[in-house]
């Protein structure tokens, strides 16, 4: 009788251990998935911002070339106005993209906060 009770107890412990291990594996897999997705979003954002830096450097170079080539004050003012207009457009685009990136990061991060049943 005592041996049967120990056997039943051992089976319950084994079942409980298996359940705990299965739950831990599920949580680890979820964490790894979220981490991988977050890393992918970071890579996309890094590529965008690197491209943006290169675009801004090109714009500055073009501005310098055009300003140097301007032979009158009105021509120089036109170059400055065009540059300022383009920079303001780029700032608006940057703001929109930054907010979208932040939203993606928050959505990805919130996936890791969910509980599993």
Q: Which of 5-14, 85-94, 97-106 has the lowest mean pLDDT?
A: 5-14
Residue 7 domain-assigned?
A: yes
| pLDDT single digits (tens) 69-91 | 999 999 999 999 999 999 999 99
Residue 69 domain-assigned?
A: yes
| pLDDT single digits (tens) 23-48 | 888 888 888 888 898 899 999 999 99
Residue 79 domain-assigned?
A: yes
Task: Please state, in angstroms and rounded to a whole number, the distance separating the CA atoms of residues 20 and 95.
Answer: 46
Whether the per-residue pLDDT at 110 is higher than 80: the answer is: yes
Residue 57 domain-assigned?
A: yes
Question: What pTM did the predictor assign?
Answer: 0.67
Are 67 and 76 spatial neighbours (Cβ–Cβ below 8 Å)? yes
User: C-alpha dihedral over 84, 89, 95, 96, to 10 degrees?
Assistant: 180
Residue 116 domain-assigned?
A: no
Distances (CA, A) of 65 to 5, 54, 84, 112: 90, 17, 15, 50
Residue 16 domain-assigned?
A: yes
What is the full DSSP assignment across 58-101?
A: HHHHHHHHHHHH--SHHHHHHHHHHHHHHHHHHHHHHHHHHHHH
**What is the total count of domains within the chain?**
1
Are 112 and 39 spatial neighbours (Cβ–Cβ below 8 Å)? no
């Amino acid at each position: 009788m005592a041996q049967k009770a120990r056997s039943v107890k051992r089976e319950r412990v084994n079942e409980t251990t298996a359940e705990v291990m299965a739950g831990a594996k599920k949580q680890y897999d979820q964490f790894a998935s979220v981490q991988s997705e977050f890393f992918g979003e970071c890579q996309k954002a890094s590529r965008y911002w690197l491209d943006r830096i290169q675009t801004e450097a090109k714009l500055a170079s073009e501005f310098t070339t055009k300003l140097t080539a301007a032979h009158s004050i009105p021509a120089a003012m036109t170059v400055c106005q065009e540059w300022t207009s383009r920079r303001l457009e780029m700032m608006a685009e940057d703001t929109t993209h930054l907010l979208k990136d932040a939203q993606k990061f928050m959505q990805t991060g919130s996936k890791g906060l969910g509980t599993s049943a």
